[in-house]
Amino acid sequence: MKFLLLSAMLLLVHLVRAQTVAVDAFASLLNQTKQAQVIDVRTPAEFADGHLPNAVNINSQREDFRQALGELDKTRPVFVYCLSGGRSKAAAEKLRELGYPTVYELQGGYLKWSSKMMPVAGVTPSGDASQWTVARFDSLIRTQPVVLVDVYATWCAPCKKMAPIVDKLTTELAGQVTIIKANADTEKALLAQYQVDELPTLLLFRNGKLANRQIGFCDEAALRGLLKQ
């Protein structure tokens, strides 16, 4: 029995090392690893716009990228990520070719990490005061037939990507749909009331009731489709 259990555990470790790891598991492994090497392979500009805590930037576009990876400590686990997973996949393959025995690749990259409201560094959370008390928000959705709430954060990568689309529709559909933005850093009561734990989250209200919820980035076509539902 003990042999079978040990074999199963070894197989699980092998699978984790050989595959990408989802956000929650990645964060758990990071917390459990005392000497983790967290490598961000995005460009310096992307890194400066927000990154995982304690991450080191090694740009995958560098001519000496492979050499830079080879200078890491092979005795310590490597946690690698990029924006969405493409560059980190190639980096993880290089790390394994270079002989690193323990490489964890973040599934979905920084986009997924920040959308799950995980800790980030290099950004300053909003210090603004809350704009929406529960009473004020309830009054809004009771008096307006259609209300779309964009729950976002300034440090959330997919939120920033979606912001211009939301702004465009806010202007275009004025008088037809009430579109408001709720900052996740300041509107804690609203997040708790509607159990928002991922960003961006879109909440669509019709006649005072929650009619739909959309989690994650939406392009313009998807947003228009949501409003027609």
Q: How many helices (H) and strands (E) does the chain have?
A: 10, 9
Task: Name the pLDDT band for 8 (thresholds 50, 70, 90).
Answer: very low
At the second CATH level, the architecture of 15-115 is: 3-Layer(aba) Sandwich (3.40)
For domain 134-228, give the CATH number: 3.40.30.10
- To 10 degrees, what angle do helices 220-228 and 157-172 make? 60
- Domain-wise residue ranges, the chain: 15-115, 134-228
- Residue 1 has what pLDDT? 53
Position with higher pLDDT, 6 vs 82: 82
* Dist. CA 80–CA 40, nearest whole Å: 6
> What average pLDDT does this structure show over 81-100?
94
Mean per-residue pLDDT, 108-124: 89
Judge if 15-115 and 134-228 fold alike in CATH terms.
Answer: no
Section 90-103 average pLDDT: 95
Q: Does residue 126 have a pLDDT over 80?
A: no
Q: What is the pLDDT of residues 131-178, one digit of tens each?
A: 999 899 999 999 999 999 999 998 888 999 999 999 999 999 999 999
User: What is the model's pTM?
Assistant: 0.71
Is pLDDT of 12 > 60? no
The contacts of residue 146 (CB under 8 Å, 6+ apart) are 176, 177, 178, 204, 205, 206, 227
Which residues are tagged catalytic? 156, 159
* Secondary-structure breakdown of the chain: helix, strand, coil percentages, each rounded to the nearest 5: 45, 20, 40
